[in-house]
Structure formats: C-alpha cells, structure tokens
Amino acid sequence: MFQSEKTVVRDLYAAMKGAGADDIAGILADHTAPDWHWRGMHPFYERRGAADVAAAFWGPLLTSLTRLQRREDVFFAGRNSVGEGVWVVSMGHLMGLFDAPWLGIAATRKMVMLRYCEFNCVEGGRITKTMLHVDIPHLMAQAGQNPFGPQTGAPIVQPGPIGHGGMLFDAQPADVGTQTQDLIDAMCSDLGTWALGLPLEEELARTWHDDMIWWGPAGIGATYTIERYAKQHSGPFRAAFYDRSFTGHEARVSEGHFGGFFGWPNFTAKHRGGFMGLPANDKDCEFRVIDIYRRDGDKLAENWIFIDMLYWLMQQGDDVLARMAAIAGTDYAPPG
C-alpha cells in the first residue's frame, strides 16, 4: 500500500533537514535516479539530474531562505490512475528567514511562508520524476512586492485541512482511496468544457459540499462556500476565457480521503479579457496546475490550488520577475 515509496520520500525530506547550498546536490543524488526528471514552475521549467536541480532551484533557495523548515500539512501516495507509477504527494509550506534576494525579490530578513506542493514518482527505491510547485507570487506579497492588483479572493497564508488529518504516513484502506478517486473523476467530468448545462452553483453542488473551501494561489486568493466560490473565482474565470481545451493530467492519485493531480499543462484557453485586469488576446495559453482535494463523505470539502501564474503571465508578455526586480532595484537573471 505504497509504504515503501512513502519511505523513500520521507527519507529524502529527513536528509534535507538542515541542509545548505553546498551539500544539497549530494543529498538529492542519494535519493534520486541519475536521470531524474524534475519539473518546476516558471522560471525553472524542466531539469535533469540532482546537480542541475540543486544548481537551479534548491541551492539558491537555501541561500536566500535560511534555517529552512518543511511544514507539511498533507502527505499521501497512490498509483497513477491516468499513467504509470506510484506517486507520493507532499503539500504545505517551506518556512525560513528571508535573508538574501531570490529571483530578484528583495530580502526582508523576516520569516516567510512559501506555499509548496510536490509530486514524486518512486521506482526501484529512487525518485525518478518530480513536479514541484512553489507559490512565488505569494512570497513576493509577503516581502511587500505584490506584483498583482486586487484579488477576487482572500489573500492569506493557507492552513492545512480541517481536523489536521492529512498526514497519511500509515497505510490506508484501498476502498477509501477508490471512493476519493471516483469523486474527483466525477468532478472533473462535470467540469468538462464548462458546458454541463446547469447553473454554475447547481453544477458545483453535485460534487462539492456547500461549505467548500477553495484555497487559491496568490493573484486569485481563497474563497469559502459554493456561492462565494462561484462569484469570486469560478464564474469570473469562466467568463474571462474561451476555447478551453483539456490537455490531460500527468498524474492523478488518491489515498484515504485525499487526492490530487497535476498537468503539464492541464489545459489551454484563450483570454477574453478581464482576468487579473489584463486585456484580451487570441493566444492559446497554457495553464499548469496542481489540485489537492479532501473528501468528506460523498462530496469534496477542500481544494488547494497551485497555478503557475508567472508562466501564464509570461505568455501574455509580462515578465513579472524582471519587472518587479527593476522596481526593487535588485538583480535578476533566469536560472541557466
């Protein structure tokens, strides 16, 4: 029941505790395959092997966010229902002291909470594939360098699941995970192409509790209840985009009452205008998204969303990191 795969990832996280920029490459190499395929958000994209991942992402991050702690809220594993392999999922915050600039974001020397979600595929006792998303705009907002205008949802540091039951270190009954996966699949089927034919709130009520919580990324924010989610995110989002084309998920897994998926990308859509205050264009732009869900009974209760907003904005011609670095007077160069 995925326990050996969980152990591989937990051993990596234990080894990373207290690691610095000088030793992180060796630690990663001890737990990953030589041809490890790592995917990250803008500006990191795809990397191969521990040395590349350490040089581009973990080394600079550990130099900037000192005394780093991994504060997990959700941990589970499952067999990929849309592809191959067993994937282990971890979600929470990376907390540290923001002591040196990172990606052109000026340091504050104060504690910061960097939202993260990571999918790791484990094969033969090694991590072979990873998708890691960190909410860089949320970190920018904490540093007083918010690149966006007003959000439709609430801008907050997000908690873990109600009841604090998301850390599934022990094996879970298989049928419970199957029920969760079936519900997530039904929700995805309802979502389809935004053309189920029901009023939005009625559509959502088929698979969501009325007091659902949607923990959205920086730039959008969090919403509570079906009615507010429909008004503060789902409705405006659907109104702003058209020609939506589902491109698929790389991995979709569930265990216990938790499940999730990611795509590369999940879908493409054209922007009609208005989303995040931006003008319309006719580009088929990609959305790279991670979704994590908590099921309560026969409906979904909570949803944590990670959208690569910087990548989507780059497709609109807005290099947010370069723009904000120029304002802050810091140096910024994309990772090599």
The 3 state secondary structure assigned to 21-36 is CCCHHHHHHHHEEEEE
**What pLDDT was estimated at residue 296?**
98
Shared domain for 268 and 240, answered yes or no, is yes
Nearest CA-CA partner of 88 in 128, 136, 41, 48: 128
State the residue for tokens 């810091």.
330
Domain membership of residue 124 (yes or no) is: yes
**What pLDDT was estimated at residue 193?**
65
Shared domain for 157 and 193, answered yes or no, is no
Shared domain for 189 and 292, answered yes or no, is yes
C-alpha 64/C-alpha 107 separation (Å) is: 8
How many structural domains comprise the chain?
2
Any bridge partners for residue 66, and if so which? 97
Shared domain for 195 and 158, answered yes or no, is no
**What pLDDT was estimated at residue 213?**
98
C-alpha 167/C-alpha 256 separation (Å) is: 10
Domain membership of residue 107 (yes or no) is: yes
Domain membership of residue 169 (yes or no) is: no
C-alpha 189/C-alpha 248 separation (Å) is: 12
State the residue for tokens 């659907």.
238
Task: Give me the residues of the chain with pLDDT under 50, please.
Answer: none
Shared domain for 108 and 209, answered yes or no, is no
- Among 113, 134, 162, give the residue marking a domain's end: 162
Q: At what angle do helices 3-16 and 24-31 cross, to 10 degrees?
A: 170
pTM to 2 decimal places: 0.96
pLDDT in tens, 194-213: 778 899 999 999 999 999 99
Shared domain for 226 and 307, answered yes or no, is yes
**What pLDDT was estimated at residue 270?**
95
**What pLDDT was estimated at residue 278?**
86
Q: DSSP per residue over 37-79, as a string? A: EEEESTTT-EEESHHHHIIIIIHHHHHHEEEEEEEEEEEEEEE
Q: Taking the C-alpha atoms of 302, 181, 74 and 263 in order, what is their torsion angle to the nearest 10 degrees?
A: -90
Domain membership of residue 331 (yes or no) is: no
**What pLDDT was estimated at residue 151?**
84
Residues spanned by the domain of 49: 3-162
- Among 104, 133, 162, give the residue marking a domain's end: 162
C-alpha 33/C-alpha 25 separation (Å) is: 13
Output the domain CATH number for residue 119: 3.10.450.50
Any bridge partners for residue 290, and if so which? 262, 306
Shared domain for 206 and 145, answered yes or no, is no
Q: DSSP per residue over 254-292, as a string? A: EETTEEEEE-TTSEEEEE-S-GGGPPP----EEE-EEEE
**Do 333 and 321 meet the contact criterion of CB atoms below 8 Å apart?**
no
Shared domain for 187 and 152, answered yes or no, is no
Shared domain for 312 and 178, answered yes or no, is yes
pLDDT in tens, 14-64: 999 999 999 999 999 999 999 999 999 999 999 999 999 999 999 999 999
Shared domain for 145 and 223, answered yes or no, is no
Shared domain for 11 and 87, answered yes or no, is yes
